[in-house]
A and B are shown apart, each in its own frame.
Chain A
Amino acid sequence: MDNVMEQLKREIEGYKGEIRAEKVGHVLEVGDGIAKISGISGAASQEMLEIETAKGTVAALAFNLEEDVVGAVVLGDASHIREGALVRPTGRVLSVRVGRELVGRVVDPLGNPLDNVGPIFSEGSEAVFYPVERKAPGVLARESVNTPLHTGVKAIDAMIPIGRGQRELIIGDRGIGKTARTLDAIINQKNDMQRKRPVCIYVAIGQKESKVARLIATLKEAGAMEYTIVVSAPASAPSTLWYLAPYAATAIGEYFMEQGEDALIVYDDLSKHAWAYRELSLLLRRPPGREAYPGDIFYLHSRLLERSAKLNAEHGGGSLTALPIIETQLGDVSAYIPTNVISITDGQIYLEPELFYQGNRPAVNAGLSVSRVGSSAQTKAMKKVAGRLRLELAQFRELAAFMQFSSELDEATRKRIERGRILTEILKQPELEPIPFEEQVVLLWAATNGLFDEAGAENASERGVAFLAYIDKLHREEILDTIRESGDFTEETETALKKAAEEFQTLQTTKDVRDDFEKTGLYTPEFLDDLEEGLERSSYRREIQDHD
C-alpha cells in the first residue's frame, strides 16, 4: 500500500500541468455507426477522432468532409455516444501497428488481438505504425514479376501461374472452393523450400465466425499458422471494420514487403468489401450510382490492389502478392464489381459451378482463366511440361464439343479425346492437399507423354498417385530433388524420368516390385514397407492384385 502511495506521489509531483487550447467539435447526430460532427473544421480526411462518452473515449474516422459538418465512421461501440459529445481530432491518420510479432496471430482491422493469447507486442519493443491508407509504390520502385509463387494446385501452377507481386483474382459462385484454393496456396508455401517463404495474410471480410475459426484450425493443423497472420472482420463486426480490414492487412503486408521479404495476401472477399463500402456511402448520403454503389467504387479496389507490387532491388526487392476473391451470383462474371476487379488485376482464375458439380475439382475453367504476367515467373521445368498440357487440353475441349454431334470418330481424334480425359483426371486434386511443384512437373510430364494412357481416364488419377509414390521412393534425388533445386527440367532429368517411367511400367505387380528389390538387394525391408504404403494410397495395388 505504501509503495502504491509513493508511486502516486512521485507521479503527481512529476506531473507538469500544462493548460493548452485545443480544437474540438461536437456530435450533432449519431446512428448506424455514423456520427455527424460540427466544428473540427481543420480535420483531415481519414483522420482519427476521439469522441468523449460516459464510458471513456470512442475512436472514429473522419470520412466525409462537408461544408459545415464532418461525417465520421465510429470504430467502436457507438451506443454510448450522445448528441453534443465532445470530439477531439488526434492529428493522426488511421494507422495500424506492424511488426514480425504479428505472425501467427489473429487480429482485428485495428490491430487488436482476437486470439486470447495476450498482447501482440512486448513492452519496450519499437513501435512501428503504418497508415491504413497508403500510396501504392510508384513505377520507379517496381520491377516485373519474375519469381514464381507456387500454389500447390496443379491446374493453377501449370496453366495459370502466379508470380510474386502479382494480383490474381479468384472468382466464382459460392461454395465451389475459392477459399479452399487460397488455403492450398498458403499451406503450400512451406513446401517451396527453394525460395524465401512469404509471410501469408488471410483477410476475412464479413465471414461467419465459425468459418474463420475452422479456417484457423485448418491452418494450424497444416502447420501454416507459423507464417500466417489472420485479419478478421467477421459478419458480426460493423461494416466500418469490413471496409477497413483489407487496407489494414495490406499495411501489414507492406511492412514485410519493405523489409525485402515476400508476402502473400488473400482478400476473402472483395464482394463483401464493396457491400460494406456501399452501406457506409449510403449512410453518409453520398450519391448512389449503378447497383447503388457510390461513384468511387472502382477506386476503392484499384487503390487497394495497386499496393501489391514487386519492388526492385534498390527498394529492397520485396513483394506483395494479392489473391483477391470475388463471389459471383449465378456465375455472372459480367456484373459490376467482378468486371471492375477483373480489369484491375493481372489475371483471374474462374471457378465454374458446372465443372464443380461434374466432379472436376478444382473447377478451374481453363478457357476463361488467365494469368497476364505469371508466365514470365514460371519455372523452366513447369513451362516445359505445361506448354504441351495447355495445347492438349485446348484440343480436347474443341473436340469434346464436336464429339457431342458425331458418334463415329477416327482413331486419332478418339486418342486425343481420351488423352484430354486423362489430363482432366490428372488435374483433379482434393482440397487442402497442395502438391510440391517438382511432383507436379513429374506427374504432368508422365500424363502428357502417355504414361497413363493404358490405364484409361478411370484409373489415371490412381496410377498417377502410384507413379509419384514410385518416383518418390526410388528416384527422389536424381529427379525430384534435381527439379526442385534447379527449377529446370534438363535433358538429363528427362532421360532419368523416362527410364524410371519405363521401369514403373514393367513393374506391374507388387510381387514384381518385391522380386526386383530382392534381386538387386539394394533396399531394406523398411523401404519395402514404405513402398507398399505408397502403393496402398491408390487402388492401383488392388487392381494389380486382381490381375494376379
Chain B
Amino acid sequence: MRYKAKQYAEAFADALGGATPESAYARIRAFVALLARHRALARAPRILPPAVRLLAARAGARRVSLESASALPLTLHEELMGIFGGKAWLTERLRPELLAGVRILIDDETLIDASGKRRLAEIFPNTGR
C-alpha cells in the first residue's frame, strides 16, 4: 500500500515524540530503512518538513531560520530565543548574496526580510530581485 507523505510524517513524528536522545538515533535509522523498503526515499523532502513541523508544534516551539550575509553574534541568538520565550528551534545559514542584514523565516511560512538585497530591490525595483 502506498502511504501519503502526511501519513509517513505523522508516524515519524509519533515515533520520535516519546524517544529519548539515545533511542532517537535508532528510530531515525529504522524510519529511513522503512522508507527504503517502501521505495519512498525520494519522497523524503515531502515527508520530513511536515514531520519537523509536527514535532515542533507538539513541543510548543517555533522553527526559526536565520539567514545572514555574515555570521551573527551569539547574543542575537539569545535575544531571539528570549523573544520566543525560549521555545524556538533555531537554525542559521550564511548567504553572502543577501549583502547585509538578516532574513528570518518562522515556521517556513512567515518571512521577515531585513536584508540589504531586499532594500536595494525596493529602491531600484527594475533591476530584478
Residues of chain A touching chain B, judged by Cβ–Cβ distance below 8 Å, are 11-12, 15, 17, 19-26, 28-29, 38-41, 50, 52, 55-57, 67-69, 83, 86
Q: List 14 A-B contacts (CB under 8 A).
A: A11-B124, A15-B123, A19-B113, A22-B112, A24-B110, A25-B109, A26-B108, A39-B108, A55-B128, A56-B129, A68-B5, A68-B46, A83-B45, A86-B111
With A56-B129, A68-B5: A11-B123 Cβ-Cβ less than 8 Å: yes
Chain B 17-30, CB-CB to A under 8 Å as 1, else 0, gives 00000000000000
A130 to chain B, nearest CB (A): 23
With A56-B129, A57-B129: A15-B110 Cβ-Cβ less than 8 Å: no
* Distance in angstroms between the alpha carbons of A69 and B50 in the assembled complex: 11
> Contacts of B110 on A, CB cut-off 8 Å?
21-24
* Distance in angstroms between the alpha carbons of A518 and B53 in the assembled complex: 100
* Distance in angstroms between the alpha carbons of A21 and B113 in the assembled complex: 7
- Do B122 and A15 have beta carbons less than 8 Å apart? yes
* Distance in angstroms between the alpha carbons of A67 and B123 in the assembled complex: 37
- Do B128 and A56 have beta carbons less than 8 Å apart? yes
* Distance in angstroms between the alpha carbons of A23 and B114 in the assembled complex: 15
Cβ of B49 < 8 Å from any Cβ of A? Answer: yes
> Contacts of A57 on B, CB cut-off 8 Å?
128-129
Chain B 93-129, CB-CB to A under 8 Å as 1, else 0, gives 0000000000001101111111000010011100011
With A12-B123, A38-B49, A68-B50: A22-B113 Cβ-Cβ less than 8 Å: yes
B95 to chain A, nearest CB (A): 11
> Contacts of A50 on B, CB cut-off 8 Å?
129
Cβ of B6 < 8 Å from any Cβ of A? Answer: yes
> Contacts of A38 on B, CB cut-off 8 Å?
46, 49, 108
Considering the complex, give the chain A residue whose CB is closest to the CB of B114: A19
Q: What's the dominant secondary structure at chain B's contact region?
A: mixed
Top 4 nearest A-B pairs (CB, nearest first) are: A56-B128, A24-B111, A39-B109, A19-B114
Considering the complex, give the chain B residue whose CB is closest to the CB of A17: B119
B98 to chain A, nearest CB (A): 12
Task: Other than A28-B45, A39-B109, give 11 A-B pairs with Cβ distance below 8 A.
Answer: A11-B124, A17-B119, A22-B110, A22-B111, A38-B49, A55-B128, A56-B128, A57-B128, A57-B129, A68-B5, A68-B6
Residues of chain B touching chain A, judged by Cβ–Cβ distance below 8 Å, are 5-6, 45-46, 49-50, 105-106, 108-114, 119, 122-124, 128-129
* Distance in angstroms between the alpha carbons of A23 and B46 in the assembled complex: 20
- Do A19 and B109 have beta carbons less than 8 Å apart? no
> Contacts of B112 on A, CB cut-off 8 Å?
19-22
* Distance in angstroms between the alpha carbons of A183 and B111 in the assembled complex: 52
Considering the complex, give the chain B residue whose CB is closest to the CB of A39: B109
* Distance in angstroms between the alpha carbons of A41 and B108 in the assembled complex: 11
> Contacts of A69 on B, CB cut-off 8 Å?
46
> Contacts of B5 on A, CB cut-off 8 Å?
68
* Distance in angstroms between the alpha carbons of A425 and B109 in the assembled complex: 70
A12, A24, A55, A56: the one within 8 Å of B105 (CB): A24
> Contacts of B123 on A, CB cut-off 8 Å?
11-12, 15
Considering the complex, give the chain A residue whose CB is closest to the CB of B42: A29
* Distance in angstroms between the alpha carbons of A68 and B124 in the assembled complex: 35
B101 to chain A, nearest CB (A): 9
> Contacts of B128 on A, CB cut-off 8 Å?
55-57
* Distance in angstroms between the alpha carbons of A22 and B5 in the assembled complex: 27
> Contacts of B111 on A, CB cut-off 8 Å?
21-24, 86
* Distance in angstroms between the alpha carbons of A173 and B41 in the assembled complex: 48
* Distance in angstroms between the alpha carbons of A12 and B119 in the assembled complex: 10
B78 to chain A, nearest CB (A): 21
* Distance in angstroms between the alpha carbons of A17 and B121 in the assembled complex: 11
A533 to chain B, nearest CB (A): 58
* Distance in angstroms between the alpha carbons of A55 and B123 in the assembled complex: 18
> Contacts of B49 on A, CB cut-off 8 Å?
38
> Contacts of A55 on B, CB cut-off 8 Å?
128
* Distance in angstroms between the alpha carbons of A21 and B111 in the assembled complex: 5
> Contacts of B6 on A, CB cut-off 8 Å?
67-68
Considering the complex, give the chain B residue whose CB is closest to the CB of A41: B109
> Contacts of A11 on B, CB cut-off 8 Å?
123-124
* Distance in angstroms between the alpha carbons of A25 and B105 in the assembled complex: 10
A28, A39, A40, A86: the one within 8 Å of B46 (CB): A28
* Distance in angstroms between the alpha carbons of A11 and B5 in the assembled complex: 48
A256 to chain B, nearest CB (A): 30
A56 to chain B, nearest CB (A): 4
> Contacts of B50 on A, CB cut-off 8 Å?
68
* Distance in angstroms between the alpha carbons of A15 and B116 in the assembled complex: 13
* Distance in angstroms between the alpha carbons of A41 and B109 in the assembled complex: 8
* Distance in angstroms between the alpha carbons of A23 and B45 in the assembled complex: 21
A465 to chain B, nearest CB (A): 58
Considering the complex, give the chain A residue whose CB is closest to the CB of B108: A39
A369 to chain B, nearest CB (A): 51
A255 to chain B, nearest CB (A): 26
A29 to chain B, nearest CB (A): 8
Considering the complex, give the chain B residue whose CB is closest to the CB of A50: B129
A246 to chain B, nearest CB (A): 30
> Contacts of A12 on B, CB cut-off 8 Å?
123
A525 to chain B, nearest CB (A): 66
* Distance in angstroms between the alpha carbons of A334 and B96 in the assembled complex: 61
B53 to chain A, nearest CB (A): 10
* Distance in angstroms between the alpha carbons of A57 and B117 in the assembled complex: 13
> Contacts of A24 on B, CB cut-off 8 Å?
105, 109-111
Considering the complex, give the chain B residue whose CB is closest to the CB of A25: B109
* Distance in angstroms between the alpha carbons of A56 and B122 in the assembled complex: 14
